[in-house]
Amino acid sequence: MLTLVLQSEHVNSLENMATAEYRRRHGTLIWRKLSGPAVQTRVTFSMENQRARTVCFAMLFETGLGFVGVLIAWLVGFSLRSQFALGLDSVLRGVIASLFMIAVLVVSYETNWSVLVKLRQEVEVIVSQLFADCRTVDLLLISVAAGFGEEILFRGALQPLFVSGSNPWIGILSASLLFGLAHALSLAYFIAATLTGIYFGYLAFAYSDLIAPIVAHTVYDFFALVYVQSRLARK
C-alpha cells in the first residue's frame, strides 16, 4: 500500500491545497491537481522512494528464501550445485513449462468460471496493492529473485529432504503443500499454488534439475505481473 508523505513549508495541511482532487486507482493514490510544483515534486519523490523500497524488500525477501534453502541443503548434506547444470535444453524446458500456466492466466480473463474469476481477482489485488507503480524492469528483477529464491528453498532443499525420508511423490507433495501454505492468501490461492508446486516439483525431480523450474517460475511470474498490471491500467 502506497503512503504519500507530503512535507512542504508552503502547505501546512491537505485542506490548504488549492484543489485536492484525487482518486485511488489500482491501489495507488494519484493526485490530479496539487497546489504547486513543489508539492508535486515531493509527491513524485515519495512515490519513487516507495517503489524503490517495494522492489528492494521483495528482492531481499525472495533471495533470503534462497539463502535459507542453501543453509538447509548444507545442514542435511544435499548438493545444490549438481542441480544447476545450465544448458539450452533445461532453459527451453522451463520456458515451455511456463506456457501452460500463462495460458491458464490468460483464459481466466476470458471465462466466467467462478474459481478462476476469484483467483484472478486475488492476483489483481496483490498487483494493485504492491506493484502498481513498479516499472517493467522492477517486475523482472522481482520475478528473477522469486524464481531463484523460492525454487532453491522448496525444490532444491525441502523437496529432496522429504523425498529422502519417504518416496518421490510424497516428497513432492509435502514440499508443494508448504509452497501452497506460503502463498495461502485464500483457499483458491492455496490450491493453485500447491498445484503449481507439484508441477515445478515434477520438473525438478524428473530431470534432477533446478534450472527448468527456476526458468518456468521466473517467466510465469514476470508475464503475470506485466499482464495483470496492463489489464488493470485499461480499467
List the domain boundaries for the chain.
Answer: 61-234
pLDDT at 14: 33
At 161 the pLDDT is 94
Render each residue's pLDDT in the chain as its tens digit; 235 residues. Answer: 322 222 232 333 333 333 333 334 444 444 444 445 554 444 455 667 888 888 999 999 999 999 999 999 999 998 898 899 888 999 999 999 999 999 999 988 888 888 888 888 888 988 988 888 899 999 999 999 999 999 999 999 999 999 998 889 999 999 999 999 999 888 888 999 999 999 999 999 999 999 999 999 999 999 999 999 999 988 7
Longest dimension (CA), the chain: 68
3-state secondary structure of 23: strand
In this prediction, residue 132 carries a pLDDT of 82
Report the pLDDT value the prediction gives residue 4, as an integer from 0 to 100.
26
Question: Amino acid identity of 189?
Answer: Y
Measured CA to CA in angstroms, residue 107 lies from 32, 89, 110, 116, 187 at distances of 35, 28, 5, 9, 20
pLDDT for 29 equals 43
- The C-alpha atoms of residue 212 and residue 139 are separated, in whole angstroms, by 20
Q: How far apart are CA 203 and CA 175, in angstroms?
A: 13
Angle CA 227–25–120, to nearest 5: 40
Instruction: Please tell me the predicted confidence (pLDDT) of residue 27.
Output: 41
Beta-bridge mates of residue 30: 23
Report in angstroms the alpha-carbon separations of 156 from 73, 87, 159, 163, 223.
Answer: 8, 18, 6, 11, 23
